[in-house]
Structure 1
């Protein structure tokens, strides 16, 4: 169980209320009152406050309440904020193993897998910070080289390597930015959710059923329904209250 002080900049009174809710939720969790703990954590989210530890705790509470889909949703939200948090990753793996009829894709080519792992291990802000640091180092070496303070083949090669590395890092940041901008995803939070062939019940048939915890791409929405795409390519329409957006 993780504990943290949620730092806010909305004034000391609001910050104190949020911290009290978080601490109260933690105590309720320790006492085994998982539903009550969830209620406190959700109230924090309703105030547009979030961090990885909050999602970790609410994910654990949902998991203990046997709401696997919501636990997986919370862990995924936490990983987006803290992509290298091993505790969240481990709990997500455990929760994923509870998915009924889990869909799995074949392992991608190892170079593609390495690239995805690298991209998923850092946030956009971290990529930008690393790339900027590399550019700063390159500029410093270049200035020293221009003024003649240093000057040899090794330094020139270091400058070239830093420039190329900075370009690659910023390229990954741009790729991640557009992926997040153009891709909407969600987690199914109920079992046996019926996916229809269209956005209207009476005129469409049930194409398939999916279970809680399944990751889906969100395409378009209409009148309380959203079109989803599964990782195996299947598409269908489900009610919006059966999933939570990431």
Structure 2
């Protein structure tokens, strides 16, 4: 019975994959013909099946960019960048899309050691650092075994020093993995999806207006209260917006 269920499940998943591949190719064909709205419909149909990939988000962003859909293009470039953080094509196109936004918000720069650690941590994902750490653990075990069973003084000395170096690298990569995990946990970005959003000082439509934001601007969500989200900008300003005004990047 279990074998039959696994077989049916496999065939269904294979069928969905084939269907999505067909939709992706049709979307690409529409895009190449300049039919960007039709391309978006095909890409969105793939997303509705639960499948996601950097290529899918990238193409979806490109099609929205061609139609001057500011918020969706930035949103999907950001989604693609989450999956492929070192992809230069995504970064370049995202920069072009951001040029269409109205809000010019300063960035409070990190300095010194904090900036160095942050930049180095972002070189890889949490999974990347964790896998690197496991590889170093494996190397440490090999070096230790060679040291333990070797009769050569030279080899013992070399593997002894090497094992300590690799052990240090294990500690460093593990620390970077946990640091990346904590950074990702605190990172809760969203994109403004309305033409103009009034940011309030408190989660109340009658409260004082702090400032206004426009479509495509990226914010950090700090907390939620009923239908309101407390946001923070890169310049340090905070305020409350209606939840419907923004779209969370960490959600499908």
TM tier relative to shorter chain: 0.7 to 0.9
1:148 is aligned, of 130, 135, 150, to 150
> How many pairs align?
238
Determine the structure 1 residue equivalent to 2:180.
Answer: 176
| Equivalent position of 1:40 in the other structure | 42
Q: Which moved more, 1:44-53 or 1:138-147?
A: 44-53
Out of 153, 160, 163, the position equivalent to 1:159 is 163
Once the two structures are superposed, residues 43-74 of structure 1 have per-residue CA deviations (whole angstroms, 9 ceiling, x without a partner) of: 22222211111111111112111122222221
* Partner of residue 3, structure 1: none
Q: Is the 8 A contact 1:81 1:123 kept in 2?
A: no
Q: Which has the higher helix share?
A: 2
Asked whether the equivalents of residues 9 and 15 of structure 1 are also in contact (C-alpha less than 8 Å), the reply is no
Aligned position for 1:192: 196
Match for residue 132 of structure 2? Answer: 130
Against the structure 1 CA distance between its residues 240 and 21, is the aligned structure 2 distance closer, same or farther, given a 3 Å change threshold? Answer: farther
Structure 2 residues without counterparts, runs of 5 or longer: 1-9
**What is the deviation of 1:108?**
2.5
Using the size of structure 1 for normalisation, the TM-score is 0.87
Question: What TM-score results when the alignment is normalised by the length of structure 2?
Answer: 0.85
- Aligned with 1:109 (options 101, 108, 111): 111
- CA deviations on 1:140-194 (whole Å, 9 max, x unpaired) are 0111001115634333222112111121111111111122223321111333211
Tell me the equivalent position of 1:224: 227
Residue 78 in structure 1 maps to residue 76 in structure 2: no
Provide the rounded CA distance (Å) in 2 between the counterparts of 1:149 and 1:90. 56
2:57 maps to what in 1? 55
Change in Cα spacing, 1:243 to 1:141, as seen in structure 2 (3 Å) is: same
1:55 alignment partner, SS class: helix
Query: Which ranges in structure 1 are unaligned for 5 or more consecutive residues?
Result: 1-7
In the TM superposition, residue 198 of structure 1 has moved relative to its aligned partner by: 2.6
Where 1:50 maps in the other structure, the secondary structure is coil
d(CA) in 2 for partners of 1:229 and 1:61? 29
Deviation of the 1:10 alpha carbon: 5.6
What are the residue-to-residue correspondences of 1:8-23 with 2, within 5 Å?
A: 11-23=13-25
Contact kept? 1:225, 1:237, Cα under 8 Å: yes
**Secondary structure class of the residue paired with 2:212:** strand
**Equivalence for 2:217:** 214
The structure having more radius of gyration, on CA atoms, is 2
